[in-house]
């Protein structure tokens, strides 16, 4: 399979195999007009298999969301065919409007335009809790 | 600007300070009779409450201050759909400090994020009720002379019981504490409270459904009500509400100096016959609640530069 190299755009690389579709959906890339390629199960020396997302546009992507879904992913910015920036991600300390609190008793269930904010409660377990009601994400 | 949303917003030094200030208020009430003169406390209660609202209002009046009161969402701007954030912004234009109760968890935090004056969480759903915890701590201190080296039994609704979560959070910061968690299986203490508080701090604890067997080892017995308003299902409430009823007969096995505490209101979980037992401390908690709310109002107003 051959996907052309992009001239100006974003490549999300080193995504855990099988997570590419989910990440694409959470980033809203499945409902944009941008040219997006999801390449699944690519051979990788480091990871065995990996997924890659290529976006043929210098659009901004939510790094916190990518870090939340897969902290091992990398984000490469390509300009005029040249790699100009390579970002390695980490599990973010705070998530703002990345995931929603599912607790029906939480103030986020009724307060207009209140951002859904989660804090990293346990880094080892990658466990997040809503800052308002302490409910665990997921 | 400091608000009080969760009991952990106060470090142990600040809690010790509030207890010391409360003891001074109790000993010398005349010194404090005009401390908050010309200051206004707004009590915003969007959920039914009698004692907590009256306690805040009595506290402010005894400090010489005034009270602006909204009780019930049906009579307030909330009925028109105003957000908590906007309500806090508006009310902080009128008042020097706000005490708020709201049925939604996290509402007080949203108010504090948008208010220009200190906000005291007077209960946000089943989440936190820090001033009840302060009242509990002052009661324990006055009855036992210390906040450490105690075996505390908490009994009843440990799942939705916000007072229990806050009390465990506060007392687990003291030395040599032990907790006995007594509840029906459906109302056990949430795992996050156990993991992030008890296990994290290596506090000894165990869970049981049998109150009678643990009674002899307790220094404090903290009873709670099974709260109808926390259940989505009436059948579950009816099945669990009579799980534990404390009677003089059951108290025979307790230490002679054990304290029986309860955040009130009680329904039937403590028999009225227990009220005359010298170990019954739940009405003392009510009075202590007023004193420590007085100390808290002074502290927050001073820190906000309003006193």
Task: Output the pLDDT for position A1.
Answer: 46
Task: Output the pLDDT for position B276.
Answer: 95
Map B66-99 to HEC letters: EEEEEECHHHCHHHHCCCHHHHHHHHCCCCCEEE
Whether residues B92 and B179 share a domain: the answer is: no
Task: Output the pLDDT for position B265.
Answer: 87
- Contact in structure between B67 and B43 (CB atoms under 8 Å): yes
Tell me the C-alpha distance between A73 and A82, whole Å.
20
**CB-count exposure of residue B237 (10 Å: 0-12, 13-18, 19+):** middle
pLDDT averaged per 10 residues in sequence order, chain B, 307 residues: 92 96 98 98 90 96 95 63 92 97 95 98 90 97 96 92 88 94 90 88 95 96 83 76 89 97 92 96 97 98 96
Q: How many CB atoms lie within 10 A of CB A40?
A: 16
The percentage of residues in chain A with a pLDDT greater than 90, rounded to a whole number, is 76
In which element (H, E) is residue A48 found?
strand A48-55
Whether residues B149 and B273 share a domain: the answer is: yes
Closest residue in A to B114 (Cα) is A114
| Domains (range + CATH), chain A | 9-88 (3.30.70.140), 94-130 (no CATH)
Total tally of structural domains belonging to chain B = 2
Find the domain containing B293 and state its range: 7-128+289-303
Task: Output the pLDDT for position B301.
Answer: 98
Whether residues B32 and B56 share a domain: the answer is: yes
Q: With beta carbons under 8 A apart, name residues in chain B contacting A106.
A: 104-106
- Average model confidence (pLDDT) for chain A? 91
Closest residue in A to B87 (Cα) is A111
Mean pLDDT of the region A37-62: 92
Is A107 in Cβ contact with B102 (below 8 Å)? yes
Across B144-174, b (16+ Cβ under 10 Å) vs e yields beebeebbbbbbbbbbbbbbbbbbbbbbbbb
Whether residues B275 and B295 share a domain: the answer is: no
Q: Please tell me if residue B84 touches chain A, with a CB cutoff of 8 Å.
A: yes
Whether residues B60 and B207 share a domain: the answer is: no
Task: Output the pLDDT for position B79.
Answer: 63
Q: With beta carbons under 8 A apart, name residues in chain A contacting B84.
A: 107, 111
């Amino acid at each position: 399979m051959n996907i052309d190299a992009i001239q100006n755009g974003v490549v999300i690389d080193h995504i855990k195999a099988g997570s590419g579709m989910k990440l694409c959906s959470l980033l809203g890339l499945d409902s944009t007009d941008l040219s997006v390629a999801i390449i699944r199960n690519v051979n990788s020396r480091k990871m065995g298999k990996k997924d890659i997302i290529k976006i043929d546009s210098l659009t901004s992507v939510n790094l916190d969301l990518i870090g939340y879904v897969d902290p091992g992913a990398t984000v490469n910015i390509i300009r005029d065919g040249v790699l100009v920036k390579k970002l390695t991600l980490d599990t973010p300390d705070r998530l703002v409007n990345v995931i929603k609190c599912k607790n029906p008793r939480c103030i986020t269930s009724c307060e207009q335009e209140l951002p859904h904010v989660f804090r990293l409660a346990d880094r080892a377990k990658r466990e997040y809790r809503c800052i308002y009601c302490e409910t665990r994400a997921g | 600007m400091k608000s009080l949303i969760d009991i952990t917003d106060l470090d142990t030094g600040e809690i010790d300070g509030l207890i010391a200030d409360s003891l001074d208020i109790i000993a010398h009430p005349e010194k404090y009779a005009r401390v908050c003169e010309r200051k206004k406390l707004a009590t915003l209660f969007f959920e039914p409450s009698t004692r907590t609202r009256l306690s805040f209002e009595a506290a402010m009046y005894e400090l010489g201050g005034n009270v602006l009161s909204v009780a019930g969402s049906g009579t307030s701007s909330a009925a028109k759909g105003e957000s908590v954030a906007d309500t806090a912004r508006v009310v902080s234009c009128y008042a020097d400090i706000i005490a708020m109760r709201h049925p939604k968890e996290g509402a007080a935090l949203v108010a504090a994020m948008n208010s220009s004056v200190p906000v005291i969480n007077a209960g946000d759903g089943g989440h936190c009720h820090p001033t009840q915890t302060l009242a509990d701590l002052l009661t324990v201190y006055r009855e036992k002379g210390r906040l450490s080296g105690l075996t505390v039994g908490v009994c009843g609704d440990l799942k939705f019981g916000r007072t229990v979560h806050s009390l465990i959070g506060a007392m687990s910061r003291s030395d040599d504490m032990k907790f006995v968690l007594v509840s029906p299986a459906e109302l056990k203490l949430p795992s996050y409270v156990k993991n992030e508080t008890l296990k994290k701090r290596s506090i000894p604890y165990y869970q049981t459904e049998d109150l009678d067997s643990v009674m002899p080892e307790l220094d404090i017995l903290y009873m709670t009500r099974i709260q109808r308003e926390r259940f989505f299902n009436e059948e579950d409430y009816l099945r669990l509400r009579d799980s534990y009823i404390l009677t003089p007969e059951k108290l025979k096995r307790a230490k002679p100096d054990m304290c029986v505490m309860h955040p009130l209101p009680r329904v039937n979980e403590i028999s009225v016959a227990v009220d005359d037992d010298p170990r019954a401390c739940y009405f003392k908690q009510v009075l202590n609640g007023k004193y420590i709310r007085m100390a808290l109002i002074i502290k927050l107003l001073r820190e906000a530069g309003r006193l």
